[in-house]
Amino acid sequence: MCWIPNSLTLSRLVLLLPVILLFQSGTAAARWWAFALFLVASITDALDGWAARRLNCAGNVGIFLDPLADKIFANVLLIYLASRHPDWIPLWAVLLLLAREFAVQGFRSMAPCLGVVISTGQMNKWKLVFQLIATGTTMTGITWQAAAYLLRPLTWIALGLALVTGIGSMLALFRDNRDLWQRKPQEMERR
């Protein structure tokens, strides 16, 4: 049964291409299907962690895959939307989020060499939620033009909140782990 959480995690990556291809087709029906698949993929983010805890099978693969799938799913969709619909998702905001991702991931990848594991904080989880809200409101607003006047400001608010929580969580991560810069690397096992 421990395959269930990891399968839910991987489904986000599997659904990414159909979401983009359906949305790009341009027909309203295909875009609604893209939005439906986007919702399914977004819900799997909550379900995979719940299933891992419920089935008591949290493991290294899931700990590695879940944040990776989150980052790929949310950021690739934002990049796609920013490249096609910059009036909804400004490219500069997506580039700031990506720069933050690289900085945090680089710092996190250094930590195990120093004997430390840095877990994902609550603000980082909120950043993902705001990114998904911005993506969902953009997809809905582009498809349902009558609601665009309401959804575009919601998209910008969600994107702004993603930036604030993302940069805030990055600064908190650096502050809380500032002692890592002074530590000596541990001897690593060679394989």
- SS3 category, 167: helix
Contact of 78 with 149, CB cutoff 8 Å: no
- pLDDT given for residue 16 in this prediction: 96
Position of tokens 């997809």? 139
CATH number (domain holding residue 171): 1.20.120.1760
Question: And the tokens for 142?
Answer: 């582009």
Confidence of residue 41 (pLDDT cuts 50, 70, 90): very high
- pLDDT given for residue 88 in this prediction: 97
Question: Residue 167: which of 123, 129, 130, 134 has the closest Cα?
Answer: 123
pLDDT of residue 11 exceeding 70, the answer is: yes
pLDDT of residue 188 exceeding 70, the answer is: no
> Does 121 reside within a domain?
yes
DSSP letter at 189?
Answer: P
> Does 15 reside within a domain?
yes
Tens-digit pLDDT profile for residues 117-171? 777 788 989 999 999 999 999 999 999 999 999 999 999 999 999 999 999 999 9
Over range 8-12, report the average pLDDT.
90
Give CA–CA dist 140/10, Å, rounded. Answer: 24
Give CA–CA dist 84/67, Å, rounded. Answer: 26
> Does 188 reside within a domain?
no
Indicate the Cα dihedral angle 16, 17, 18, 19, nearest 10°: 50
Confidence of residue 75 (pLDDT cuts 50, 70, 90): very high
SS (H, E, C) 117-157: CCCCCHHHHHHHHHHHHHHHHHHHHHHCHHHHHHHHHHHHH
Tens-digit pLDDT profile for residues 107-122? 888 877 777 777 778 8
- pLDDT given for residue 63 in this prediction: 73
Write down the pTM of the prediction.
Answer: 0.91
Contact of 32 with 61, CB cutoff 8 Å: no
Domain assignment of residue 80, given as a range: 3-181
Q: How many domains does the structure of the chain reveal?
A: 1
> Does 54 reside within a domain?
yes
> Does 189 reside within a domain?
no
What is the separation of C-alpha 158 from the centre of its chain, rounded to a whole number of angstroms? 13
How far is CA 17 from each of CA 4, 76, 137, 163, rounded to the nearest angstrom? 21, 10, 19, 25
Confidence of residue 97 (pLDDT cuts 50, 70, 90): very high
> What is the average pLDDT value for the chain, to the nearest integer?
90
pLDDT of residue 58 exceeding 80, the answer is: no
Question: Residue 41: which of 27, 53, 23 has the closest Cα?
Answer: 23
> Does 187 reside within a domain?
no
- pLDDT given for residue 53 in this prediction: 81
Determine the longest span between alpha carbons in the chain, in angstroms. 61
